[in-house]
Structure formats: structure tokens, C-alpha cells
């Protein structure tokens, strides 16, 4: 795309709060930088905890807060957002960006609101199968809505024309897993199981899964190779259970080599956040997905159902995720490994390896619309 006249102006990426918002922004930053775009990464105090953009990217912090809780919390949140909006307007006036891209979450609100007020070309990216509350607020004002799933709820009819399917960008190391074959698995091979619950773990996984695995027969247990993320308060208890049952297990509160762990996995047991779903699709790994029941608008259930409908994984509501259920499923997988192989093939069919490139294309297409004076 021919946009050299604009490339002295940065593209602003607004993300923060959680890894689910930050990781796609970092992936997009890498692609845009490779296309010679200067990048300004705008986030809150938590945003860089999940990694920082490509060296040379300008990082700016502005105030932001959610509007949850009681009256005092809401008032404090509004005050913080008001301050953030003033900061964002001053920043955008100074930067004069070519475009602003928001990734949802309250940290993106001040920057994206300021961008729409100032006439900056704007794109929002939705990682989940349900349009998040912040993106729902911004949707009528922005020029382009980039989505990760083919079917997404929460978009008003008048905004449908703005939608473009890009997929959810993932780290290159994760995407590369999908280019390799699914690990060999027969009815006698060890089965590698990766269990995690997001950046903070999930207690239900530390309670149900070890009890189920240790209840298998000795022959079944001998085939298990377990990698499990646990909360710090759970890790010693879980380790003791696996040790007592002679189950080979690697436990940690955080794994800094997740691509390597995911590459070895035959089966994942996890929550159904947007980043998890996208990385499973990119890597081509089947999963038992247990949506977090208190997620906003129950978006994790929508995420899980989207991949389950393709025969790529299994969505299990938390009340149904019992010890007996896990035992039955593990025995099925141990005896019928083709069930996992077929699900892995179906998962890989959902893969959008070029999601970051497609999102970058959508951003640049929005710039062209703006240059031609096309209204949002």
C-alpha cells in the first residue's frame, strides 16, 4: 500500500490492563514497524507488565480506570478517565498520529475517545466472540472494527459495514507451532497434558484435575506427562498429590517457555480467554475449555463455543467440570488417541497465521479511506 507521505506520523496503539489486550497490540506493532511505521504505544501503569513493543517504540502512560464497584469507585473511575482524556488529547495533538488502534479494556478509552473527537482515523480490535463493553461504546465512533471470530455478537446493525475479520494476532513463537505436525500419539505413548488458567491461574483446575489424574489406574498414570500452572498457594498441595501417585509433573506459577510447553502438548486444559483460544488455534492444539463463569457478558463461553462448534475443542461449563468428567475424558483420550488427532486437525483449520498482517492491512486501509475523505 502506498502511504509514504503518512509514514512520518506514528500509529498509536492503545492497550493495557490484561495480556489479552496487550499481546495482540505487541504483535501488530512488530508488523507495522516492519512496514516502516513509527509506533506510539499508549497504556496504563499495568500495560508493560506483559511485555514491551519492539525497541524504538515510544511508550506513553495515561490515567485510566474501570467504572465498576460502588458509588465511590465509580466516581474515582470517572475522575481517572477524565484526567486520562485530557492527557490523551494533549498527547495526540503533539504526536499528530496517522491512526489510532484500540484493543479494548478501560485503558484504551481515553486515547480512543480523544482520537475520535479529533478526527484521527480509528480502528478497534475485538479479541473475543462478544464485543466488549468498551468496544461497544466506541463502535459507533470508529472507522473500522476488526474481529477475531467469524461470528461476533454485540455489534449493532448500523456498524456491521465497518467489520472486517482479521483474526487475533499471536506471538510468532506460538504461530510457528502450527507449522509443525501434531506430536505422535498412539494408545501406548505418553500423553502430554498442559494445564493453565491464564495469568493468575484458576483454582478449579488445581482442585479438580489432580484429583482426577491421581484416580486413574497405575498403568494410565504411567503414561501421563503433566505440565501445570498453579497459584502459589496451591502448588505444594498439587505437587504432593502428583508425587504420591507417581505422576510425572512439572509445576510452576508461571512458565516463561510457554511456546515450548505448548508445542509438546497433546491436550490443553484451560480457561477460554481470547489469548488462550487464539494461541490454541494458531498452534493447532485441542483443549478442554472451562470458561470463567464470571467473565463480563459470559464472553469466555462464547469463545469456547465458537471453537467447539468446529470440533476443535470441548466446552465444559464449570459446574460440569467434575472429577468424574475428567476421568472419563482422559480414559477416552488414552484409549482413542485419534479423537485428539482429529480435534487437532479441526483446530488447525481455524488458524489465521497472518492475523497480524491482516490487522495491519485493515489499519492501512482505514488510512486510505481517511485520505479520500470517506466518512466513517
Name the pLDDT band for 47 (thresholds 50, 70, 90).
very low
Q: Is 170 exposed, middle or buried (0-12, 13-18, 19+ CB in 10 A)?
A: buried
Domains and CATH numbers, the chain: 4-168+353-371 (3.40.50.2000), 175-349 (3.40.50.2000)
Strands (E), the chain: 11-14, 39-43, 58-61, 99-102, 122-126, 144-147, 163-165, 191-196, 224-229, 248-252, 267-270, 287-289, 314-315
Lowest mean pLDDT among 141-150, 292-301, 338-347: 292-301
End-to-end alpha carbon distance in the chain: 20
Distance between CA atoms of residues 358 and 167, nearest Å: 8
The predicted structure's pLDDT at residue 77: 61
Q: What DSSP element (H or E) covers 71?
A: helix 71-95
Which cell numbers hold the place of 210?
Answer: 489432580
Distance between CA atoms of residues 194 and 205, nearest Å: 11
**pLDDT at position 16 over 80:** no
Residue bearing cell 504505544 = 41
Q: Which SS3 state, helix, strand or coil, does residue 307 take?
A: helix
**pLDDT at position 305 over 90:** yes
**pLDDT at position 221 over 60:** yes
Locate all alpha helices (DSSP H) within 141-285, ordered by sequence: 172-175, 203-214, 218-221, 235-244, 258-264, 274-283
Q: Which SS3 state, helix, strand or coil, does residue 316 take?
A: coil
The predicted structure's pLDDT at residue 4: 55
The percentage of residues in the chain with a pLDDT greater than 90, rounded to a whole number, is 67
Distance between CA atoms of residues 205 and 95, nearest Å: 46
**pLDDT at position 272 over 80:** yes
**pLDDT at position 134 over 80:** yes
For 207-217, what is each residue's pLDDT tens digit?
Answer: 999 999 999 99
The predicted structure's pLDDT at residue 375: 44
Q: Which SS3 state, helix, strand or coil, does residue 239 take?
A: helix
Name the pLDDT band for 374 (thresholds 50, 70, 90).
very low
Q: What is the pTM of this model?
A: 0.84
For 55-107, what is each residue's pLDDT tens digit?
Answer: 667 888 887 666 566 667 666 666 777 788 899 999 999 999 999 999 988 88
Which cell numbers hold the place of 21?
Answer: 489486550
Mean pLDDT, the chain, whole residue set: 88
Specify whether the CB–CB gap between 313 and 290 falls below 8 A: no
Cβ-defined contacts of 55-59 (< 8 Å, 24+): 57/29, 57/33, 58/10
Q: In what order do the strands lie in the sheet with 99-102?
A: 58-61, 39-43, 11-14, 99-102, 122-126, 144-147, 163-165
The predicted structure's pLDDT at residue 376: 43
**pLDDT at position 45 over 70:** no
For 253-268, what is each residue's pLDDT tens digit?
Answer: 988 899 999 999 999 9
Query: What sign results for the dihedral spanned by CA atoms 206, 211, 214, 217?
Result: negative
Cβ neighbours of residue 141 under 8 Å, at least 6 residues apart?
A: 112, 113, 116, 122, 376
What average pLDDT does range 342-369 have in this prediction?
Answer: 91
**pLDDT at position 50 over 60:** no
Name the pLDDT band for 338 (thresholds 50, 70, 90).
very high
Between 3 and 16, the higher pLDDT residue: 16
The predicted structure's pLDDT at residue 106: 83
Amino acid at each position: 500500500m502506498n502511504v509514504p507521505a503518512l509514514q512520518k506520523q506514528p500509529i498509536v496503539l492503545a492497550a493495557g490492563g490484561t495480556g489479552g489486550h496487550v499481546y495482540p497490540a505487541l504483535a501488530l506493532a512488530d508488523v507495522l514497524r516492519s512496514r516502516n511505521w513509527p509506533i506510539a504505544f499508549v497504556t496504563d501503569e499495568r500495560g508493560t507488565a506483559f511485555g514491551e513493543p519492539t525497541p524504538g517504540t515510544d511508550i506513553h502512560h495515561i490515567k485510566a480506570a474501570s467504572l465498576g464497584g460502588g458509588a465511590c469507585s465509580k466516581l474515582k473511575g470517572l475522575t481517572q478517565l477524565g484526567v486520562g482524556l485530557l492527557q490523551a488529547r494533549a498527547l495526540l495533538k503533539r504526536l499528530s498520529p496517522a491512526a489510532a488502534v484500540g484493543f479494548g479494556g478501560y485503558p484504551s478509552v481515553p486515547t480512543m475517545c480523544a482520537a475520535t473527537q479529533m478526527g484521527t482515523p480509528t480502528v478497534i480490535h475485538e479479541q473475543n466472540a462478544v464485543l466488549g463493553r468498551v468496544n461497544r461504546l466506541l463502535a459507533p465512533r470508529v472507522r473500522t472494527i476488526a474481529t477475531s471470530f467469524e461470528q461476533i455478537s454485540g455489534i449493532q446493525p448500523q456498524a456491521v459495514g465497518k467489520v472486517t475479520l482479521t483474526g487475533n494476532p499471536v506471538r510468532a513463537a506460538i504461530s510457528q507451532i502450527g507449522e509443525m505436525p501434531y506430536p505422535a500419539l498412539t494408545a501406548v505413548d505418553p500423553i502430554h497434558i498442559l494445564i493453565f488458567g491464564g495469568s493468575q491461574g484458576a483454582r478449579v483446575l488445581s482442585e479438580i484435575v489432580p484429583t482426577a489424574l491421581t484416580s486413574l489406574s497405575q498403568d494410565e498414570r504411567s503414561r501421563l506427562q503433566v505440565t501445570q500452572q498453579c497459584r502459589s498457594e496451591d502448588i505444594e498441595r498439587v505437587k504432593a498429590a502428583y508425587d504420591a501417585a507417581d505422576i510425572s509433573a512439572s509445576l510452576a506459577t508461571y512458565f516463561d517457555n510457554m511456546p515450548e510447553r505448548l508445542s509438546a502438548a497433546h491436550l490443553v486444559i484451560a480457561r477460554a480467554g481470547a489469548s488462550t483460544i487464539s494461541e490454541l488455534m494458531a498452534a493447532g492444539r485441542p483443549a478442554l475449555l472451562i470458561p470463567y463463569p464470571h467473565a463480563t457478558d459470559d464472553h469466555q463461553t462464547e469463545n469456547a463455543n465458537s471453537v467447539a462448534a468446529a470440533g476443535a475443542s470441548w466446552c465444559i461449563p464449570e459446574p460440569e467440570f467434575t472429577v468424574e468428567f475428567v476421568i472419563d475424558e482422559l480414559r477416552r483420550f488414552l484409549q482413542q488417541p485419534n479423537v485428539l488427532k482429529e480435534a487437532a486437525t479441526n483446530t488447525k483449520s481455524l488458524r489465521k497465521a497472518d492475523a497480524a498482517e491482516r490487522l495491519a492491512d485493515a489499519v492501512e486501509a482505514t488510512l486510505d479511506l481517511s485520505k479520500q475523505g470517506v466518512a466513517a
